[in-house]
Amino acid sequence: MEKFKPHEYQEYAIRYIIDHPISAIFLDCGMGKTAITLTALMHLMYESFEVQKVLIVAPLRVAKNTWPQEIEKWEHLKELRYAVAVGTSEERITALESDADVYIINRENLTWLIEKSGLPFDYSMVVLDELSSFKNWQAKRFKSFMRVRPRVRRVVGLTGTPSSNGLMDLFAEFKCLDMGERLGRFIGQYRLSYFRPDKTNGKIVYSYKQLPGADKKIYDRISDITISMSSVDYLDMPELINTEYPVYLSEKEEYVYTQMCEELVLNVTKGMEITAANAAVLSGKLCQLANGAIYTDAGEMAEIHNRKLDALEDIIESMNGKPLLVAYWYKHDYDRIVKRLKECDIPYEKLDSDDSIRKWNWGEIPVALIHPASAGHGLNLQDGGHVLCWYGITWSLELYQQTVARLYRQGQSSGTVIVQHIVTKGTIDEKILKALEGKNTTQTALINAVKAVVKK
């Protein structure tokens, strides 16, 4: 376990949650919102005794992995008992009936918990991780939560961009927090106060446009319970924040990976074989497996798992429309990422031309894909965004640093650059990341890492 040494802005946010029974904490991706919230929970439970039972509502993989990992990571949280209510109905019931301090459930099952589980909703505090998931005032999860909201004494809303589609999103989000005290109890009241019809067809209104000065009035209304961690007010600038997004293989997928390690030969399907002639070749094969697909000896692509694709989808969702730069390594990584983005109707573009780079720097590309080899010296991307996600990690320290430097450079308007690494746990990804952190990416380090994996 690690000792938690919070940044100044994290200490501020922790104290803010403790001092405010209702709070909206807007943090950029990778700034430690989970550790901040859990530290505040520990104080409220075991020092001031203001909270007895907490419910955390989060996206599925965040609920299943991120929150439990953070609890187990930090030394000061070791006494915090938690239960993860995901899986089948029986598994969720068992978790929710267990003796714990914190209960973690995925947002898709919130309506089930409130309306169908048969369990009492007796939580003294609720944390809504990704408050933007509650921006639709007509959605079932919003309506279900509002049924039980009066029973909850403390509510924390966490998100990066609360109004990705405009200020209209804030109505439902803040009603979840304060039951309509600041922005009104009814959507019609909110629209009338701060907006006017924009695109219409007779009496049918398709969109609304905010009234002059409406943004300032709205911000003033919510300012007493809201802080933002994306501004320079809470950070020593410039700052580079490195984070990991861990993913885990199933037993079957782990077996495939181990088979490649131990036998240097992998039989994917009948007639499709993969071999590694030496440690360097094996390293490349293992990197591919960690990413989810691998080239066969015949040059065909064999898909093994979608763990990193699922993680990338979660990260893009958490960005709430803010630009994300994604670094990939293998061609099949690019092909599979593009396929997933198309399935999710997420606009994207490959940064491989002057026009695409211009569009990125003008904020016209929500998701940009870049290969480290093309992220050479002098390529300025800092105007288009400040978050970089490594889908596939490279051994090359030079290429790694060059790619990060496309955003982490003078002129970065946000003042903070966040570098996220999607890491498949128990694989060579961890070895590469450790080598990069130690600035030891020689051929010897590569071979030693592979030997360690094989020996294990």
Q: How far apart are CA 342 and CA 29, in angstroms?
A: 23
- Per-residue pLDDT, averaged over 85-100, amounts to 95
Least-confidence region, from 83-97, 255-269, 318-332, 424-438: 255-269
Highest mean pLDDT among 18-32, 317-331, 427-441: 317-331
- The reported pLDDT for the residue numbered 376 is 53
Burial annotation 209-218 (CB, 10 A radius, 16+ → b, else e): ebeeeeeeeb
- The reported pLDDT for the residue numbered 186 is 94
- The reported pLDDT for the residue numbered 377 is 45
- The reported pLDDT for the residue numbered 101 is 96
- The reported pLDDT for the residue numbered 455 is 37
pLDDT in tens, 355-412: 888 899 899 999 999 998 876 544 678 889 999 999 999 888 778 887 888 888 756 7
- Per-residue pLDDT, averaged over 125-152, amounts to 94
Q: Helices (DSSP H) in 1-129: which residue ranges?
A: 8-19, 33-46, 60-61, 67-73, 89-96, 110-115
Cis upstream peptide for 238 (omega within 30°): yes
Q: How confident is the model at residue 238 (pLDDT cuts 50, 70, 90)?
A: low
Least-confidence region, from 23-37, 181-195, 260-274, 414-428: 260-274
Output the pTM of the full model.
0.64
Q: How far apart are CA 98 and CA 38, in angstroms?
A: 19
pLDDT at 105 over 50: yes
Where is pLDDT greater, at 98 or 160? 98
Contact 335/147 with Cβ under 8 angstroms? no
3-state secondary structure of 297: coil
Q: How confident is the model at residue 331 (pLDDT cuts 50, 70, 90)?
A: very high
Query: Above pLDDT 90, what percent of the chain?
Result: 54
Instruction: Enter the tokens of residue 315.
Output: 């990260």
User: Structural domains in the chain?
Assistant: 8-234 (3.40.50.10810), 239-246+305-455 (3.40.50.300)
- Per-residue pLDDT, averaged over 69-88, amounts to 93
- Phi, psi torsion values for 54, nearest 5 degrees: -120, 140
pLDDT at 236 over 80: no
- Per-residue pLDDT, averaged over 311-335, amounts to 94
Q: How confident is the model at residue 277 (pLDDT cuts 50, 70, 90)?
A: low
- The reported pLDDT for the residue numbered 268 is 52
pLDDT at 319 over 70: yes
Burial annotation 297-313 (CB, 10 A radius, 16+ → b, else e): eeeeebebbebbbbbbb
Query: Above pLDDT 70, what percent of the chain?
Result: 86
pLDDT at 443 over 80: no
pLDDT at 237 over 50: no
- The reported pLDDT for the residue numbered 378 is 46
Contact 427/290 with Cβ under 8 angstroms? yes
- The reported pLDDT for the residue numbered 184 is 93
3-state secondary structure of 265: strand
Nearest to 269 by CA among 233, 294, 245, 236: 294
Nearest to 38 by CA among 85, 83, 74: 74
- The reported pLDDT for the residue numbered 273 is 55
Q: How far apart are CA 340 and CA 344, in angstroms?
A: 6
3-state secondary structure of 230: coil
- Per-residue pLDDT, averaged over 89-106, amounts to 96
- The reported pLDDT for the residue numbered 444 is 42
- Per-residue pLDDT, averaged over 218-233, amounts to 75
- The reported pLDDT for the residue numbered 442 is 42
Q: How confident is the model at residue 302 (pLDDT cuts 50, 70, 90)?
A: confident
Least-confidence region, from 169-173, 246-250, 274-278: 274-278
Query: What are 55's strand-pairing partners?
Result: 103, 126
Nearest to 313 by CA among 292, 289, 284: 292
pLDDT in tens, 242-272: 999 999 999 999 988 888 777 655 555 555 5
pLDDT at 279 over 90: no
